[in-house]
Chains A and B, each alone.
Chain A
Amino acid sequence: MTERILSASAALAEALHEEMQRDETVFILGEDLTAHAGIFGQFEGLPENFPGRIIDTPISEAAIVGVGVGSALTDMRPIVDLHFSDFVTCCMDELVNQAAKIRYMFGGQVKLPLVVWCPDGAGIRAAAQHSQSLEAWFVHVPGLKVVVPSEPSDVKGLIKSAIRDDNPVMFFQNKSLFSKQGVVPEEDYLIPLGKAAVKRQGKDVTLICYGSGYYLCKEAADILAEQGIEAEIVDLRTLKPLDMDTVTVSIKKTGRAVTVHEACLTGGFGAELCARIQEQLFDHLKGPIKRVAARDVPMPFSPGMEDFCLPKVTDVVMAAHSIVSRK
Chain B
Amino acid sequence: MAEDANMLLELYERMITVRTFETVAGEYFAAGEIPGFIHLSIGQEASSVGVCSCLRPDDYVITNHRGHGHMIAKGADIKRMTAELFGKKTGYCKGKGGSMHIADFSIGILGANGVVAGGLPIIAGAGFSIKMRKTDQVAVCFFGDGAANRGTVHEVMNLASVWKLPIIFALENNQWASTTPQEKSSAVEEISCRAAGYNMPGVAVDGNDLFEVRNATLEAIERARSGKGPTLIENKTYRISGHFEGDPQKYRTQAEIAPWKEKNDPIRRLHDYLVTSGVLDEKMNLKIWEGAAAVLEDAVAFAKESPFPEPEEALEDLFVTQ
Contact B179 A36 (CB under 8 A): yes
> Interface segment, B41-49, B180-188, B278-286?
B180-188
Contact A32 B179 (CB under 8 A): yes
Please give me the residue from chain B that is nearest to A308 by CB atom: B311
Contact B177 A59 (CB under 8 A): yes
Shortest distance from the beta carbon of B155 to any chain A beta carbon, whole Å = 11
Q: A90 and B101 in contact (CB under 8 A), knowing A35-B179, A60-B151, A309-B314?
A: no
Please give me the residue from chain B that is nearest to A91 by CB atom: B151
Chain A positions 59-115 with a Cβ under 8 Å from a chain B Cβ: 59-63, 86-87, 89-90
Of A34, A87, A129, A295, the contact of B101 (CB 8 Å cutoff): A129
Q: Is B98 an interface residue (CB 8 A)?
A: yes
Contact B309 A304 (CB under 8 A): yes
Chain B positions 300-322 with a Cβ under 8 Å from a chain A Cβ: 308-315, 318
Please give me the residue from chain B that is nearest to A130 by CB atom: B114
Contact B97 A32 (CB under 8 A): no
Contact A303 B250 (CB under 8 A): no
Contact A308 B314 (CB under 8 A): yes
Of B37, B96, B248, the contact of A36 (CB 8 Å cutoff): B248
Contact B36 A60 (CB under 8 A): no
Cα(A87)–Cα(B114), bound, Å: 10
A-B interface pairs (CB < 8 A), number: 119
Point out the residues of chain B lying under 8 angstroms from A124, CB to CB.
Answer: 36
Q: Is A194 an interface residue (CB 8 A)?
A: no
A interface residues, how many (CB within 8 angstroms)? 39
Interface 1/0s, chain A 299-327, versus B by CB < 8 A?
01111111111000000000000000000
Of A36, A60, A86, A304, the contact of B150 (CB 8 Å cutoff): A60
Contact A58 B178 (CB under 8 A): no
Q: Is A31 an interface residue (CB 8 A)?
A: yes
Contact B308 A302 (CB under 8 A): yes
Q: Is A39 an interface residue (CB 8 A)?
A: yes
Chain B positions 115-157 with a Cβ under 8 Å from a chain A Cβ: 115-118, 146-147, 149-151
Point out the residues of chain A lying under 8 angstroms from B98, CB to CB.
Answer: 125, 127, 301-302
Shortest distance from the beta carbon of B181 to any chain A beta carbon, whole Å = 10
Of B88, B113, B178, the contact of A32 (CB 8 Å cutoff): B178
Point out the residues of chain B lying under 8 angstroms from A61, CB to CB.
Answer: 150
Point out the residues of chain B lying under 8 angstroms from A300, CB to CB.
Answer: 95-96, 314
Q: A295 and B179 in contact (CB under 8 A), knowing A59-B116, A301-B98?
A: no
Interface 1/0s, chain A 159-186, versus B by CB < 8 A?
0000000000000000000000000000
Chain A positions 245-304 with a Cβ under 8 Å from a chain B Cβ: 295-298, 300-304
Point out the residues of chain B lying under 8 angstroms from A225, CB to CB.
Answer: none
Contact B114 A127 (CB under 8 A): yes
Contact B151 A129 (CB under 8 A): no
Shortest distance from the beta carbon of B188 to any chain A beta carbon, whole Å = 12
Cα(A273)–Cα(B93), bound, Å: 36
Contact A127 B97 (CB under 8 A): yes
Which residue, of B116, B117, B177, has the highest number of chain A Cβ atoms within 10 A?
B116
Point out the residues of chain A lying under 8 angstroms from B146, CB to CB.
Answer: 58-59
Cα(A58)–Cα(B177), bound, Å: 9
Contact B314 A305 (CB under 8 A): yes
Shortest distance from the beta carbon of B251 to any chain A beta carbon, whole Å = 4
Q: Is A223 an interface residue (CB 8 A)?
A: no
Contact B101 A128 (CB under 8 A): yes
Of A36, A60, A296, the contact of B149 (CB 8 Å cutoff): A60
Q: Is B52 an interface residue (CB 8 A)?
A: no
Contact A56 B184 (CB under 8 A): yes
B residues contacting A by CB (< 8 A) are 35-37, 87-88, 93, 95-98, 100-101, 113-118, 146-147, 149-151, 177-180, 184-186, 248, 250-251, 308-315, 318
Further pairs besides A125-B98, A295-B314, A297-B315: 16, Cβ < 8 Å: A32-B180, A36-B248, A36-B250, A58-B149, A58-B186, A59-B146, A60-B149, A127-B96, A129-B115, A297-B314, A300-B314, A302-B96, A303-B35, A304-B308, A304-B309, A304-B311
A residues contacting B by CB (< 8 A) are 31-32, 34-36, 39, 56-63, 86-87, 89-90, 124-130, 295-298, 300-309
Pick the 7 closest A-B CB pairs, nearest first: A302-B95, A301-B98, A308-B311, A302-B87, A35-B179, A125-B36, A129-B114
